[in-house]
Amino acid sequence: METVRQQIVAKFTELLGEGQFVYGSFKSKPHTPYGNYALDYTNNYFADNRTYCKIGVYIYRLVTDQKDFELEAKIEDMFDELEIPYQTITDEDIKAQKVHCTEWTVTLVGRQ
């Protein structure tokens, strides 16, 4: 059975292309658009000397040449389709790199 995180990675890969979406960081800067994600923190619940409920908070990042409303909408539609709550936390131009960065925080509960 595919985890929610695997479903997200598959959908991002469909949207951005093979090798354009990774966990963590790239070895060298890819061409835009590209994205990555990483675990920000966990907030698990414990009971009876075991992890009762796993909660992972991840940051998903999209980097484009300029703000891409259509691609961002497709990503948010994907979160909605998978019934994943999300919050936009970054939506800004990074002038030094001449790119636009949009980031979402996503909370995954249970099997991740």
pLDDT tens per residue across span 56-99: 999 999 999 999 999 999 999 999 999 999 999 999 999 999 99
Parent domain of 60? 4-109
DSSP state for residue 68 in the 8-state scheme? -
Please report the pLDDT score of residue 69 as a whole number: 98
Tell me, what's the pLDDT at 57? 96
**Which domain CATH number covers 19?**
3.30.70.1700
Q: Assign 110 a pLDDT band (cuts: 50, 70, 90).
A: confident
pLDDT of residue 112: 65
Q: What is the pLDDT of residue 29?
A: 85
In whole angstroms, give the CA distance from residue 77 to residue 71.
Answer: 10
Q: What is the total count of domains within the chain?
A: 1
Mean pLDDT (whole number) for 37-41? 96
